Amino acid sequence: MPRTYAIISILSAVAGTAMFCGCGEQTRPGSEPLLAASKSAFDKEDYSKVVEKTTEFLVDNERSALADEAHYYRGRARYRLGDLAGAAADMDKAIAATRDKGLRSSAAIVHGDVAFARGDWAAAEKWYRHALSGLDEAHKPADYAKLQLGCAMQRLGQWEAADAQFDRVIFLFPGSPEAVAAADNIRATAWTVVAGLYDQRPAAQIAADALAAKALSATVSPRLRQGRLAFAVQVGTFPRHDDAAAMLQKVRAISPDACVMETK
């Protein structure tokens, strides 16, 4: 069963084709090809090579005008590799070094993603807001930042405030993947544990009955996911995400792919 969009989605179109410009000393001669190679490796999703090349670049160019960009790309690569602490450290350095508004906002988005992955919803909210303060809300990557901000707010129990973010994504970016995800999440009021999503109600009912046989009361609820009707097998409703996460452990003992989702 697919996990929620907010969890699986990683920074989309964070910087476009904008050129970043930091401040500091001149880049050491012969070093720029290292940075170019790291960008090429990122495009090829060779994140280990990105870390290798940007680290090599930064050895001699930590105070150069391109250090902000090197830290930014290394941080993104580290995030993709699951090194959350390393990603956050690089984004701190990129933000401190840069004069580029776009890079600063993009780095803040990565910071928000790191906080989200750690389950620190308050920090995620702070960083996505910081990113949006420097972005035009009608252009990427504001769609992603607003979507993630709304998802963080839901986890904090700020349901109406989250809807305001989702509404803007749907209005400003109609038909986009972010708008579809926002439509899936909007108007939710609580959390539930979803043991499975099924195309047909009878299959979902069989799964719910199996949970009931294990003393876990489950219901079948229709819901739209990515624009398609599905039938969710749900266990409980919880006002707080943490409460649902506690129930998740019990459900996963029976349904290993279970996850926490919003419910309406």
- Which residue shows structure tokens 């909007």? 186
Q: In whole angstroms, give the CA distance from residue 221 to residue 196.
A: 11
Q: Are residues 174 and 153 in the same domain?
A: yes
Both 179 and 131 in a single domain?
yes
Per-residue pLDDT at 14? 43
Please give the residue range of the domain that contains residue 133: 1-10+120-187
Q: Is 4 exposed, middle or buried (0-12, 13-18, 19+ CB in 10 A)?
A: middle
Specify if 222 maps to a domain: yes
Q: SS3 of 263, please? A: strand
Q: Of 157, 187, 217, which closes a domain?
A: 187
Q: Check whether 177 has a pLDDT greater than 50.
A: yes
For residue range 82-109, list pLDDT tens digits in order: 999 999 999 999 999 999 999 999 999 9
- SS3 at position 63: coil
Question: pLDDT for 54-75, tens place per residue?
Answer: 999 999 999 999 999 999 999 9
Q: Is residue 47 assigned to a domain?
A: yes
Separation of first and last alpha carbons in the chain: 20
203 and 144, same domain (yes or no)? no
Tell me whether residue 80 is in a domain. Answer: yes
Same domain, 89 and 207: no
Same domain for 145 and 175, yes or no, is yes
Average pLDDT, the chain: 90
Mention every residue, 6+ apart, whose C-beta is less than 8 A from residue 188: 154, 159, 162, 262, 263, 264
Same domain, 181 and 202: no
Q: Are residues 38 and 81 part of one domain? A: yes
- Asked whether residue 74 is assigned to any structural domain, the reply reads yes
Strands 190-198 and 259-263, sheet pairing: antiparallel
CATH number for the domain spanning 206: value is 3.30.70.1070
> CB-based contacts of 44: which residues, under 8 Å, 6+ apart?
none
Q: Looking at the 3D structure of the chain, how many domains does it have?
A: 3
Q: Report residue 193: phi and psi, to 5°.
A: -100, 120
**Considering the domain boundaries, does residue 104 fall inside one?**
no
Of 99, 129, 145, the one marking the end of a domain is: 99
Residue 105 lies in a domain: no
Q: Assess if residue 111 is contained within a domain.
A: no
Under DSSP, is residue 82 helix (H, G, I), strand (E, B) or coil?
coil
Output the pLDDT for position 10.
Answer: 38
Q: Are residues 183 and 202 in the same domain?
A: no
Q: Is residue 115 part of a domain?
A: no
Q: What is the pLDDT of residues 220-234, one digit of tens each?
A: 999 887 778 999 999
Query: Per-residue pLDDT tens for 28-38?
Result: 888 899 999 99
Which pLDDT score, from 0 to 100, does residue 11 have?
41
Same domain, 211 and 156: no
CATH of residue 48's domain is 1.25.40.10
